[in-house]
């Protein structure tokens, strides 16, 4: 918990809470000022390796203890101290956005694109925010919990177009 204490004194307005998990420390942050925090971690504390960036949708999650719907989770690793740190930023459903960290890691570019693709979280300051895995004209965000796993054939857009076409032909 040493790092949490340090972060708490350095960025009292950004850090919300922190706890110890099985695999490392977890620090929950506010959206505002997050960029300064992660830049400081990278430049001063040696967390130079960004392992992962992902989104999580907590719609209807029973053991939930917070209000916001989404969470953006960062995993950063310090090579010298062999320390794994998990940073979490909670994002409300009404304005789903978060600051982009592409200025710090080019690697984050595609991670953020994927997060936008799957959850619809917009990353402010991202140079090229478009879908990665899904087709460009896809509607909806597949990894959201309210997105169905199987959709009815009649709901499929090309099918509707086909039906329309044959109706007009008579």
Partner 1 sequence: MSLVLEVNKKQKGKDSWEEPFYLNMGPQHPSTHGVLRLFLELEGETIVNCDPIIGYLHRGIEKLAENLNYNQTIVLSDRLDYISSAANNVAFALAFEKLFKLEVPRRAKLIRTIVSEMARICSHLLWLATHALDIGAMTVFLYCFRDREWLLNIYERICGARLTHTYVRVGGVRRDFEPEVIEELYRFVEEFPKRITDYETLIDTNRIWLKRTKNIAVVSAEEAFNLGLTGPCLRGSGVSYDVRKFRPYDAYSEVEFEVPVGQNGDTYDRYKVRMIELRQSNWIIKQCLDKLSETEGELVLAENSPDLLMPEKVREVSAQPHPKLGVMFKPKEKEIVPVGEAFASIESPKGELSVYVVSDGSSRPWRLRIRTPSFVHISAIPHMTKGHMIADLVAIIGTLDIVLGDSDR
The DSSP bridge partners found for residue 121 are: none
> How many residues line the site for partner 1 (CB under 8 A)?
41
What phi and psi, each to the nearest 5 degrees, are found at residue 115?
Answer: -65, -40
Of 5, 17, 36, 52, the residue at the interface with partner 1 (CB under 8 A) is 52
Q: Pairing relation of β-strands 83-91 and 70-78?
A: antiparallel
Residue 136 beta carbon to partner 1: minimum distance, rounded to whole angstroms = 5
Q: Does 143 bind partner 1 (CB under 8 A)?
A: yes
Is residue 121 a contact partner of residue 97, using CB atoms and an 8 Å limit? yes
Q: Does 50 bind partner 1 (CB under 8 A)?
A: yes
Q: Does 40 bind partner 1 (CB under 8 A)?
A: no
Residue 156 beta carbon to partner 1: minimum distance, rounded to whole angstroms = 15
Q: Does 39 bind partner 1 (CB under 8 A)?
A: no
d(CA 165, CA 145): 33
Contact mark string toward partner 1, 1..20, x via CB under 8 A? --------------------
The DSSP bridge partners found for residue 152 are: none
- Using alpha carbons only, what angle is made at residue 13 by residues 82 and 96, rounded to the nearest 5 degrees? 85
Picking from 98, 91, 99, the residue whose alpha carbon sits closest to that of residue 69 is 91
Q: Does 121 bind partner 1 (CB under 8 A)?
A: no
Q: Does 129 bind partner 1 (CB under 8 A)?
A: no
Question: H or E segment at 99?
Answer: strand 97-99
Which residues bind to partner 1, rule: CB under 8 A? 21-24, 48-52, 54, 56-57, 61-63, 73, 75, 77, 79, 82, 84, 86, 105-107, 109-111, 114, 118, 130-136, 142-143, 147, 149
């Amino acid at each position: 918990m040493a790092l949490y204490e340090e972060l708490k004194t350095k960025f009292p307005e950004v850090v919300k809470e922190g706890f110890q998990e099985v695999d490392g420390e977890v620090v929950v942050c506010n959206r505002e000022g997050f960029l300064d925090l992660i830049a400081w971690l990278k430049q001063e504390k040696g967390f130079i390796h960004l392992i992962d960036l992902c989104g999580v949708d907590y719609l209807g999650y029973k053991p939930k203890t917070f209000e916001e719907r989404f969470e953006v989770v960062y995993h950063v690793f310090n090579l010298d101290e062999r320390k794994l740190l998990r940073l979490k930023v909670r994002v409300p459903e009404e304005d789903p956005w978060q600051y982009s960290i592409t200025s710090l890691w080019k690697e984050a570019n595609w991670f953020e694109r994927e997060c936008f693709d799957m959850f619809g979280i917009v990353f402010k300051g991202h140079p090229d925010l478009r879908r990665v895995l899904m087709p460009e004209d896809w509607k909806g965000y597949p990894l959201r919990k309210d997105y169905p796993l199987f959709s009815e054939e009649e709901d499929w857009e090309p099918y509707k177009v086909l039906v329309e076409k044959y109706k007009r032909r008579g």
